[in-house]
Structure 1
Amino acid sequence: MATGASTCDLAILLIDARKGVLDQTRRHSFISTLLGINTW
């Protein structure tokens, strides 16, 4: 995820309505923020 996101300007996070926010979603959000992706 970090390799592909390193050249991105925009992130789209999908959250499963049944399962809610998973640990993986939280990690991806955190990594996106670390890489400077501030547009959601």
Structure 2
Amino acid sequence: MFIEDANVQLRFGFHNQYHYEYEKAEHLEQFEKKLRHIMENYA
């Protein structure tokens, strides 16, 4: 399963494994901020 935006891709695998693909640390920070917003407001 993949979750992504324009700068980051989060890939989930078996046994709770996951991998982020991104070029800059700030891209990952922005992506995680978006995920937190979704969890706080829609879960």
The TM-score bracket by the shorter chain reads 0.3 to 0.5
Structure with bigger strand share is: 2
Structure with a larger share of its residues in helix: 2
Which gives a bigger RCO, structure 1 or 2 (Cα 8 Å, sep 6+)?
A: 1
Give the structure with higher Rg (CA): 2
